[in-house]
């Protein structure tokens, strides 16, 4: 019976080509606009590290002075260097890493090639295991390398391709800011969207390409690019150990809820000790958020993206209402044919199912133009201001979503016209 309904639907669609084309176009426009907004939202709200997002935590400590103090106000997003090093040495987590962003000059070391700048990450040994960074060659450096401020470097696949032609460069030398570093590891293709471990970088297309021990970066005074917030008396060097400045990101891995609770207690006790010593002036005020909680707190999904989605949904509803009207006009134009079919024994459910199948075919016919319009919409988004524009692109989510949305919306839009067609009076049509 389904094959018969499909044959009838295809015949009817061919008989009314202009009306069919108009219905498909309206459906495709609504799908394209809606899926463009949904794709952007999906990119921004997706879990960047689903296998570990519930085990990675970002601690916050309230080390500020009493100026502008308010009870339970959110602490600084980053830690002071003193606190970060203290938490690192305590080793209360399964893994822990402190870090900051920078920009280093790279000399490719070939005749005629000019130096260039690349985004860098100054961090500690656990960073790569903490965030499941995949290695193509070699590995990260050791905790001993952190202690001795080794001139070791891990590079991204992209940088390795650019400087070393994609070869195994472990053990080779790389000039960074006129200092010779030894490559100990080359990462495979790897980037988080968004890069949750440093929310000071709001560019979703940002990627670190050079990874250097934190202690080495301090010793060589490599230029950092991260945010810095200071309070109290001014200091000549805001990155000094005892400077009252928050500029270091810190992440820990806690494998179980029990470990997470224990680490939260450790943070409270540490804050109480610092308060008792006079280093902290404010009462104990700590935070410990996992990856998704951290992203939600930082409002990674901008409000304008949410507004765009609601506008797209509203536009989709307008398109569906137009499709309902077009299908209703199209189906009722065949009232005489429907009456004859009923007189020959077709039940109302047969008539309803036949026209619902035709509606579904109209929806599926809108898949390809819907994909084209979604691609065009994302192309426009890429050229709009906003840090999310650079990562807006067609994905498997978009393609599957278009098919599902096309089928669901066509069935929804076709339900009323199909029901109305099934209520045609055969007697009235035969008399006319």
Using only the alpha carbons of the chain, give its radius of gyration. 30
Element (H, E) at 2: helix 2-15
pLDDT at 414 over 60: yes
- Interatomic CA distance for residues 150 and 143, integer angstroms: 10
Helix intervals (H) in 344-395: 348-365, 367-382
pLDDT at 255 over 60: yes
- With a CB cutoff of 8 Å and minimum separation 6, the contacts of 258 are none
Element (H, E) at 251: strand 245-253
pLDDT at 376 over 60: yes
pLDDT tens by residue, 200-230: 875 666 789 999 999 999 999 999 998 899 9
Sign of the Cα pseudo-torsion (108, 113, 117, 118, in order): negative
Question: How many other CB atoms are there within 10 angstroms of residue 307's CB atom?
Answer: 11
Helix intervals (H) in 121-180: 127-130, 143-147, 157-164
- Interatomic CA distance for residues 338 and 54, integer angstroms: 58
Of 27-36, 395-404, 419-428, the range with the highest mean pLDDT is 27-36
**pTM of the predicted model, to two decimals?**
0.77
pLDDT tens by residue, 180-207: 999 999 999 998 877 889 988 756 667 8
What was the pLDDT predicted at 377?
82
Helix intervals (H) in 91-213: 127-130, 143-147, 157-164
Q: Which of 335, 380, 333, 327 minimizes the C-alpha distance to 358?
A: 327
Question: Do 47 and 291 touch, CB atoms closer than 8 A?
Answer: yes
Place of tokens 């499941």: 132
What was the pLDDT predicted at 430?
55
- With a CB cutoff of 8 Å and minimum separation 6, the contacts of 219 are 149
DSSP SS3 for 156: coil
- Interatomic CA distance for residues 409 and 293, integer angstroms: 33
Cis preceding linkage at 348, omega within 30: no
Q: What is the largest CA-CA distance in the chain?
A: 99
pLDDT tens by residue, 399-411: 778 888 888 888 8
- With a CB cutoff of 8 Å and minimum separation 6, the contacts of 86 are 270
DSSP labels, 258-318: HHHHHHHHHHHHHHHHHHHHTS--SPP--EEEEHHHHHHHTT-S-HHHHHHHHHHHHHHHH
- Interatomic CA distance for residues 239 and 216, integer angstroms: 13
Question: If pLDDT is split at 50, 70 and 90, which confidence band does 12 have?
Answer: low
pLDDT tens by residue, 62-111: 999 998 889 989 999 999 999 999 999 999 999 999 999 999 999 987 75
């Amino acid at each position: 019976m389904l094959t018969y309904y499909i044959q009838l639907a295809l015949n009817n669609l061919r008989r009314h080509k202009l009306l069919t084309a108009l219905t498909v176009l309206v459906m495709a426009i609504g799908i394209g606009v809606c899926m463009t907004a949904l794709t952007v939202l999906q990119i921004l709200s997706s879990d960047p590290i689903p296998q570990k997002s519930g085990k990675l935590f970002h601690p916050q400590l309230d080390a500020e002075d009493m100026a502008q103090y308010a009870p339970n106000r959110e602490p600084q997003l980053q830690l002071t260097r003193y606190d970060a090093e203290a938490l690192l040495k305590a080793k209360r987590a399964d893994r822990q890493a402190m870090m900051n962003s920078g920009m280093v000059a790279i000399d490719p070391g070939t005749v005629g090639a000019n130096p260039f700048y690349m985004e860098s990450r100054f961090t500690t040994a656990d960073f790569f295991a903490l965030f499941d960074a995949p290695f193509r060659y070699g590995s990260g450096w050791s905790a001993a390398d952190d202690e001795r401020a080794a001139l070791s470097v891990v590079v991204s696949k992209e940088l390795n391709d650019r400087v070393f032609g994609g070869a195994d460069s472990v053990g080779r030398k790389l000039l960074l800011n006129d200092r010779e570093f030894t490559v100990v590891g080359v990462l495979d293709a790897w980037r988080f969207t968004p890069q949750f471990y440093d929310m000071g970088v709001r560019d979703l297309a940002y990627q670190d390409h050079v990874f250097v021990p934190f202690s080495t970066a301090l010793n060589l005074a490599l230029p950092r690019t991260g945010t810095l917030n200071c309070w109290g008396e001014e200091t000549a060097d805001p990155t000094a150990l005892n400077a009252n400045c928050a500029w270091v990101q810190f992440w820990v891995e806690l494998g179980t809820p029990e470990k997470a609770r224990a680490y939260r207690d450790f943070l409270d006790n540490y804050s109480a000790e610092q308060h008792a010593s006079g280093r902290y002036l404010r009462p104990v005020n700590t935070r410990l958020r996992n990856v998704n909680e951290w992203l939600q707190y930082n409002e990674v999904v901008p409000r304008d993206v949410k507004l765009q989605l609601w506008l797209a949904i509203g536009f989709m509803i307008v398109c569906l209402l137009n499709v309902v009207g077009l299908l209703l006009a199209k189906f009722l134009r065949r009232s005489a044919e429907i009456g004859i079919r009923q007189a020959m024994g077709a039940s109302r459910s047969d008539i309803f199912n036949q026209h619902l199948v035709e509606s579904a075919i109209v929806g599926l016919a809108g898949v390809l133009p819907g994909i084209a319009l979604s691609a065009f919409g994302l192309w426009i988004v890429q050229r709009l201001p906003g840090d999310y524009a650079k990562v807006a692109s067609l994905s498997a989510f978009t393609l599957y979503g278009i098919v599902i949305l096309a089928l669901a919306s066509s069935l929804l839009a076709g339900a009323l016209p199909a029901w109305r067609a099934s209520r045609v009076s055969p007697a009235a049509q035969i008399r006319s």
